[in-house]
Structure 1
Amino acid sequence: MNLQLVELLTLLSKQPDATAMATRAARWAAEALDAETAAVVRAGVVLAGVGVRTGANPLVGEVLAAAGRPEPLDLPELPRAFVAAAPVTDRGPQPTQLVLARAEEPFEVEERLLLVGTGRLLGQALQSARALSDEREHRRRSEALATEREQLLGTLREREQLLSSLLDLQQAVARRRPVEEVLDLLAARARGVLEGDAVVVVLEDPLHPEALRVVARDDRPGALPCAAALAHARAALAPAGPGRGIHPGCVWHVAPVRAQGRVVGGVVLLDPTGRTEGREHLLGAFAEHASTALNDEYTSTSLRASYYDQLTRLPNRTLFLDRLAQGTGGTGGTGTQGTGAQSGDPGEGGLALLYVDLDGFKAINDRHGHQVGDLVLAAAAARLQTALRTQDTAARLGGDEFAVLLHDVTPEQAVAIARRLQDQLAEPVLHEGTALRVGASIGVAVVGHEGTTPASLVPDADAAMYTVKGAARGPEADGVGLFHAELHRARTARLRLEADLARAVETDEFVLHYQPVVDLEGRPLGCEALLRWQHPEDGLLYPDRFVGVAERSGAIARIGALVLRQACRQVARWRREGLTVDVAVNLSGAQLRPALLGEVRAALAEADLPATALTCEVTETVLVTEAHAIAVLADLRALGVRVAVDDFGTGYSSLAALRRLPVDVLKIDRSFVAALDQPGDAAIVEAVLRLAQALDLDVVAEGVETEFEARVLRELGCPTGQGYRWARPLPAEDFRAWWAARVGTGALV
């Protein structure tokens, strides 16, 4: 009997709910005791059974009364039935019983005991099922309550964030902060509260009331171009204009900003979610605060003053370009004005522009901090103003770039003034006993000289400055360049190259060649992915033709991301084919931003490539000059990616700095390898190898071209190298064949 009850317990434990348990127990009891009918009943209701319908049954009371009697009971379809019953101890609200009936044969004592055991087990199972059901219901209610509480907390947090943001804006206005700060704060807080892709404040231009301008913005890069914001604002602020509309991929909303009783601009929200509920109301609250700021007398005055750079008090780019437009518009296209020059007769000169870029400012800013950098910028601005005539205009264009507009000067006079300004800027700035020195690269363009027109004045001066900035600064170089026609041709070629680069990114014209990395015996270990551009007209271009332009135009970050994904996909493909290849990819300084970690993760995941198969290479100079690079590279190493210092020995790393840098590999620059026949250079390579050994770093010698170089490197203890001695950079298919030929076809799957 005990074995039978164990079997029943196992069956009941597998049932999903109480009804299934009761049905299973009734069926089991009927089979075990050879009964035609079995039922679980409570208060005259059949809960489950075999050979009987569930629900209310008028015979239940009569059957229960006959349980245990020696004489049989006649039941429908079951004459002369003997009845046995046992309590089901489930501690329910009403007593429950398990009832069996069979024809002709009374129940023996042992059978009645088995029935009692069955009732007890069923009761225990029903209690467990009820407890589990209660627990599940309690958990469901708890989760629902937690969800409601979380929603309530979210609503309270949103309201608190809104109230906090509006309070900050009110305090900024009350404390008479400059209007630029108020509107910048408003854009940032509005985007945070509204969770939009961008928030832009658009206002009338005080110099040109018929035009609108973007005065503050808080967005993700590329989220809402200024032109799009202005278009939305114009549409919404027109009489009876719409307050919302569709932007590609999102919905835009505009709330009007008023000053002195009329609409003067708007706050534009680009909402990628497409939600509308509550958006207009919240955006309107921020627009009201913008209106309050503009109606304040002090901030209204500050808005007019917003055309001046707050640090240097020079005209900013907006005001400078406006004055330039006025000046060139009054020259009749010649740029001449009869204001007189420092030398020469009045009226013989033209309009000139000096484009000034400070040399060495970034190093001071990084080394001494932004406050000292601001001190240097303010000093440079003061010297520019002091050295100029009253009719000339100096402006800060942004960062460490300035511009000077000269009236009525010849090209020679403009160059002379530029050199005088350069001498003034070269004087040291004293700070706490330290002499801080910057130089200046100055580009000069004069309307009417070498094809310069009023419209091309700024780009011509910028091109001349760019040429000076990029030239070697020898002892005879003066850092002043006068625009000439050849620069125009060079700029045209550069602009064409920039346009071609933008197209190449979209049309996937970049390809990778792979140069093997080997041990010094020539056994393949990995490769370095090297960028090439398959130009549709100019053929295969090497990086020296286009990387500099890509860095200046800002395209290098997108190109770098393409290289990263393409290299990971190719190496993953080789690995699936049986080639155990690791790959090194070069990173530019522009890529060393926090977003790089996500790009690397995505590239590895897309290719299904382990992080340990990827090495990211950066130049020694980038490591030293880009202050944020170390943190980004440390994050990459934490991901499992290796980091290599390229061209090691050509930069400025000290031993103390190298110990702190997050690197795994040193790559010895080709210039040292090529001079291994010189004792001094061989000693440098040996010192680098010892340094790497002491710091537990790997070493790769770059540009190994001869067996002599490979032999000397082996003797010095260099473990790995790459160069023409073993292979040039190869297209993917050629690299695969090269690798297979050296590891043997047996290594391939």
Structure 2
Amino acid sequence: MSDEDQLFLTDSPPDAEPAGQAPWRVLVVDDDEEVHRATDYAFRRTLVLGRPLIMLHSYSGTDARALLAQDRDFALVLLDVVMEDAQAGLMLVEYIRRDCQMQTTRIILRTGQPGSAPELPIIEAYDINDYRTKSELTQTRLITAVTAALRSYDQIRMIAESRRGLELIVRSSADLMERHAMLSFAEGVLTQLAALLGLPRDGLVCVHRGDEKRGERADTFYVISAGGQLSDYLSCTLDKLTDTAVREAVSDALRQRQHQFTVSSTVLYLFADGHEAAVYMRSHQPLLPLDRQLVEVFATNLSAYFGNVHLIGELNRLAFLDGLTGLANRVQFIKDIETQLSAQLVGKEEPQALLLLDVKRFSELNNGLGHEVGNAYLKAIAQGLRAGFSAQTRVARLGGDVFGLVGSAAELAPERVRSLFEGGVLAGEHRLVVAFAAGYCALEGHRGSGLAALRRANIALARARLSAQAQRVSFDPIMEEQTAQRLALLRALRRDIQAQRLELWYQPQLDLQSGRMIGLEALMRWPDGTGGMVASPAVFVPLAEQAGLIVEMGLWALHRAAEDWVHLQGVADAPPRISVNVSMPQFRSGELQGQVAEVLARHALPAGTLELEITESIAMDDPCLVISTLTALREQGVRVAMDDFGTGYSSLSQLRTLPIDVLKIDRAFVSQIGERQGEMFVETVLALGKRIVAETVAEGVETPLQAEFLRQHGCHIAQGWLYAKAMPLQELKAWMAARI
């Protein structure tokens, strides 16, 4: 796109208006100040049809109503769709047309939110001239759209008093917008022209340039509507027309890119956003000047709507297809499920089933080999699924690395899917294996909606993802009950987080040589208010991660732990540091470093006081992100501990690069002290800690035997029930006082 085709913002004063010309009055309604500035700048040196523009500005639908109550002399309204609310723009359109009776004023809708496009009945009802997303409105396109709208306005005004048929133009243009399929649109054009001019329909032909998305050639024109004897040529290319006069007249208009008026015919040339079409009308005498004016006005409006038909068609196509693979998307897939359910209900189909496939380890592949290979991988899988099943089985990509199939239960058998990808797929230069976690739902007897069936298959897929053994899980009604319980638990968790009902409990960490308390680990608890717990951390912490609540919880925990540590400093034998667990979503948020800095500053924590605990799985999830963040945190005086060491899959080389101060031996290995294999692992971790100059903390120490073994082999610190359980702050203070 050229530089001059962009809308540049500037604070420069506008040029003086050319003198002696009646300007177009344009009302700009938008809640974005920069849109107003950009619109002013786009037309500051521009004459439209030889006349300057006067821009009046309003910043909300309410303000615009107040203005229009006093002043309605506007040729054009440039109107934002979403302002005070999602319906503000469309409600203002209704006010302009119905209450103000401004029928000739042209309206161009603009929006920064493509999903807020007006429904076709709204366009039909209120004669909206054009609809554009702000991102596509470059300066050239904006000027083009405004020029077309103002030309339409001017021509309508000129002949409004001399031709009653004007009402038919406005009415017919609006009618055409509901015919969003191109063939229906073309048929409507011919019908309206025939009625407008009193011509027989057997002398009208409509052609358009081919579209490769419909399997046509882009350098060829096709007959898409015709009447009488010429209807035999529907879908044929223009060069196949045997009527030489029609063929040559249409070809001349397309070649010269303008209307053609002759004694025996009229050809209207239509162009919008790269799409071309022509309408041929046979007549026995030349059009009268007034009829010619009328047709030109009709063509001006028609070109704008012609572009919208293509736009709406493309939006409809994108609304139901996945852009990467060309498969149906989630919206279309639900429709396909509904179709299969309906056919099954009336006994026209054998038992049907729904299958969801989640590509395993796709994230690792995508991160390791790059997005281009990842996309090629998904496209290869899509091609394999499409080719591997009959046309009766519908295949879709539901998003990310999840594919869906709905069809015959017999065809969706596990071995069928497995056999499709036994040799892997080729993605670029890579031959890659394909493995799925699968959720299966039989549709026989299902009486719910397509969305309900998809939800059930999703429940089964979620189970398959979590299972270490099962590759394919079939839906069972009890799963739905469990999911409902989980959602209820999630709602309660979200409510209690907002109400700050969660608590931090603390487990002391003791020096194995001196017995002195040298630290506390902060542990999240969810009390039920009656002395019990709503759920254990093993349940609600993963739930919070999946629901996107863990970042908020983590920030709260950092502040509360720091506040409680400061509070304890007035008690004898106060611990010198406090440890808080952090999660991967906190790293991915990009806010962890800043949040920790805020905690340190707000609570005036000395360097070395705050210790952050990570697990091996976090360290291996995104090593570069984790290492860079931890390195920056250590520079702020924060200590780093690796929790549950030995339960993950980190290598020594990866461990070497991590900025670690503490290795925590998992309780599973401490519990095996007394058994040779368990003791060997503990000794190995202790030796590793010495080599990397890290303290070692043993978790879950419950017996004097375990404590003595750890002490003799050089373990620095222990925590566990042998010394104290995790406890709320007040109990911790009492425990500390009892030790004095």
Whether these two folds match at TM > 0.5 is: yes
Q: Residues 551 and 586 of structure 2 are in contact (CA less than 8 Å); yes or no, is this contact kept in structure 1? A: yes
The answer on 1:484 being equivalent to 2:479 is no
Q: Secondary structure at the match of 1:612?
A: coil
* Structure 1, unaligned runs of 5 or more: 1-158, 166-187, 195-227, 244-260, 270-282, 339-345, 745-749
**Alignment partner, residue 517 of structure 1:** 509
Q: What is the CA–CA distance in structure 1 between the aligned matches of 2:715 and 2:610, rounded to whole Å?
A: 22
**Alignment partner, residue 531 of structure 1:** 524
1:237 to 90, 106, 126: 90
Q: What is the CA–CA distance in structure 2 between the aligned matches of 1:538 and 1:450, rounded to whole Å?
A: 43
The answer on 1:707 being equivalent to 2:681 is no
* Deviation of the 1:712 alpha carbon: 0.9
Matching of residues 138-287 of structure 1 within 5 Å: 163=8, 232-240=85-93, 263=108, 266-267=111-112
Q: What is the CA–CA distance in structure 2 between the aligned matches of 1:417 and 1:671, rounded to whole Å?
A: 41
The answer on 1:315 being equivalent to 2:328 is yes
Q: What is the CA–CA distance in structure 1 between the aligned matches of 2:92 and 2:544, rounded to whole Å?
A: 45
**Alignment partner, residue 222 of structure 1:** none
| Cα 1:631/1:322, change in 2 over 3 Å | farther
**Alignment partner, residue 579 of structure 2:** 584
AA of the residue aligned to 1:336: L
AA of the residue aligned to 1:288: L
Q: Residues 508 and 724 of structure 2 are in contact (CA less than 8 Å); yes or no, is this contact kept in structure 1? A: yes
User: Which shows bigger deviation, 628-637 or 533-542?
Assistant: 533-542
**Alignment partner, residue 641 of structure 1:** 638
Q: Secondary structure at the match of 1:347?
A: coil
Q: Secondary structure at the match of 1:592?
A: helix
* Deviation of the 1:316 alpha carbon: 2.7
2:667 to 658, 666, 670: 670
2:619 to 611, 615, 623: 623
* Deviation of the 1:465 alpha carbon: 0.7
| Cα 1:162/1:292, change in 2 over 3 Å | closer
Q: Residues 508 and 517 of structure 2 are in contact (CA less than 8 Å); yes or no, is this contact kept in structure 1? A: yes
Q: Residues 376 and 429 of structure 1 are in contact (CA less than 8 Å); yes or no, is this contact kept in structure 2? A: yes
AA of the residue aligned to 2:387: T
Identity percentage of aligned residues = 32
**Alignment partner, residue 354 of structure 2:** 353
Q: Residues 377 and 427 of structure 2 are in contact (CA less than 8 Å); yes or no, is this contact kept in structure 1? A: no
Q: What is the CA–CA distance in structure 2 between the aligned matches of 1:493 and 1:470, rounded to whole Å?
A: 18
**Alignment partner, residue 466 of structure 1:** 462
The answer on 1:551 being equivalent to 2:545 is yes
AA of the residue aligned to 2:138: H
| Cα 1:580/1:721, change in 2 over 3 Å | closer
Report Cα offsets for 1:511-553 as digits up to 9, x if no partner. Answer: 1110111111432111111111113589313112222222222
Q: Secondary structure at the match of 2:87?
A: helix
Q: What is the CA–CA distance in structure 2 between the aligned matches of 1:448 and 1:387, rounded to whole Å?
A: 23
* Deviation of the 1:711 alpha carbon: 0.9
Q: Residues 396 and 402 of structure 1 are in contact (CA less than 8 Å); yes or no, is this contact kept in structure 2? A: yes
Q: What is the CA–CA distance in structure 1 between the aligned matches of 2:658 and 2:33, rounded to whole Å?
A: 37
Report Cα offsets for 1:549-602 as digits up to 9, x if no partner. Answer: 222222222222222222121112112556244111111211112111222222
Q: Secondary structure at the match of 1:676?
A: coil
1:501 to 487, 493, 499: 493
* Deviation of the 1:730 alpha carbon: 1.0
Q: What is the CA–CA distance in structure 2 between the aligned matches of 1:601 and 1:420, rounded to whole Å?
A: 55
Q: What is the CA–CA distance in structure 1 between the aligned matches of 2:494 and 2:322, rounded to whole Å?
A: 33
The answer on 1:682 being equivalent to 2:679 is yes
| Cα 1:162/1:740, change in 2 over 3 Å | farther
Larger radius of gyration: 1
**Alignment partner, residue 567 of structure 2:** 573
**Alignment partner, residue 562 of structure 1:** 556
Q: Secondary structure at the match of 2:723?
A: coil
The answer on 1:733 being equivalent to 2:586 is no
**Alignment partner, residue 252 of structure 2:** none
| Cα 1:569/1:424, change in 2 over 3 Å | farther
1:605 to 601, 625, 641: 601
* Deviation of the 1:732 alpha carbon: 0.9
Report Cα offsets for 1:103-151 as digits up to 9, x if no partner. Answer: xxxxxxxxxxxxxxxxxxxxxxxxxxxxxxxxxxxxxxxxxxxxxxxxx
Q: What is the CA–CA distance in structure 2 between the aligned matches of 1:718 and 1:626, rounded to whole Å?
A: 30
The answer on 1:400 being equivalent to 2:401 is yes
| Cα 1:492/1:425, change in 2 over 3 Å | farther
AA of the residue aligned to 2:318: S
AA of the residue aligned to 1:598: G
**Alignment partner, residue 366 of structure 1:** 367
**Alignment partner, residue 86 of structure 1:** none
Q: What is the CA–CA distance in structure 1 between the aligned matches of 2:328 and 2:351, rounded to whole Å?
A: 24
| Cα 1:636/1:317, change in 2 over 3 Å | farther
Q: What is the CA–CA distance in structure 1 between the aligned matches of 2:578 and 2:462, rounded to whole Å?
A: 35
Matching of residues 397-436 of structure 1 within 5 Å: 397-406=398-407, 409-410=408-409, 413=410, 416-425=412-421, 427-430=423-426, 435-436=431-432
AA of the residue aligned to 1:296: D
Q: Residues 232 and 268 of structure 1 are in contact (CA less than 8 Å); yes or no, is this contact kept in structure 2? A: no
* Deviation of the 1:161 alpha carbon: 11
* Structure 2, unaligned runs of 5 or more: 11-31, 39-80, 97-105, 115-131, 146-271, 276-309
Q: What is the CA–CA distance in structure 1 between the aligned matches of 2:389 and 2:556, rounded to whole Å?
A: 48
Q: Secondary structure at the match of 2:599?
A: helix
Q: Secondary structure at the match of 1:726?
A: coil
1:650 to 623, 644, 647: 647
Q: What is the CA–CA distance in structure 2 between the aligned matches of 1:729 and 1:617, rounded to whole Å?
A: 16
AA of the residue aligned to 2:602: E
* Deviation of the 1:656 alpha carbon: 1.2
AA of the residue aligned to 2:389: L
* Deviation of the 1:490 alpha carbon: 0.8
* Deviation of the 1:481 alpha carbon: 1.5
* Deviation of the 1:325 alpha carbon: 5.5
**Alignment partner, residue 97 of structure 1:** none
Matching of residues 10-21 of structure 1 within 5 Å: none
Q: Residues 233 and 268 of structure 1 are in contact (CA less than 8 Å); yes or no, is this contact kept in structure 2? A: no
**Alignment partner, residue 304 of structure 2:** none
* Deviation of the 1:447 alpha carbon: 3.6
* Deviation of the 1:706 alpha carbon: 0.9
User: Which shows bigger deviation, 295-304 or 639-648?
Assistant: 295-304
| Cα 1:439/1:699, change in 2 over 3 Å | same
AA of the residue aligned to 2:510: V
AA of the residue aligned to 1:732: L
Q: What is the CA–CA distance in structure 2 between the aligned matches of 1:525 and 1:492, rounded to whole Å?
A: 44
AA of the residue aligned to 2:111: G
Q: Residues 235 and 241 of structure 1 are in contact (CA less than 8 Å); yes or no, is this contact kept in structure 2? A: no
* Deviation of the 1:733 alpha carbon: 1.1
* Deviation of the 1:229 alpha carbon: 5.9
Q: Residues 353 and 446 of structure 1 are in contact (CA less than 8 Å); yes or no, is this contact kept in structure 2? A: yes
Q: Secondary structure at the match of 2:396?
A: strand
Q: Residues 451 and 485 of structure 1 are in contact (CA less than 8 Å); yes or no, is this contact kept in structure 2? A: no
* Deviation of the 1:664 alpha carbon: 1.7
Q: What is the CA–CA distance in structure 1 between the aligned matches of 2:609 and 2:422, rounded to whole Å?
A: 49
Q: What is the CA–CA distance in structure 1 between the aligned matches of 2:334 and 2:599, rounded to whole Å?
A: 43
* Deviation of the 1:503 alpha carbon: 0.9
Q: What is the CA–CA distance in structure 2 between the aligned matches of 1:420 and 1:611, rounded to whole Å?
A: 61
**Alignment partner, residue 289 of structure 1:** 138
Q: What is the CA–CA distance in structure 1 between the aligned matches of 2:421 and 2:432, rounded to whole Å?
A: 11
* Deviation of the 1:289 alpha carbon: 3.1
Q: What is the CA–CA distance in structure 2 between the aligned matches of 1:237 and 1:577, rounded to whole Å?
A: 66
1:306 to 302, 318, 339: 318
Q: Residues 426 and 440 of structure 1 are in contact (CA less than 8 Å); yes or no, is this contact kept in structure 2? A: no
| Cα 1:537/1:524, change in 2 over 3 Å | closer
| Cα 1:263/1:483, change in 2 over 3 Å | farther
Q: Residues 237 and 266 of structure 1 are in contact (CA less than 8 Å); yes or no, is this contact kept in structure 2? A: no
The structure with the greater share of residues assigned to strand is 1
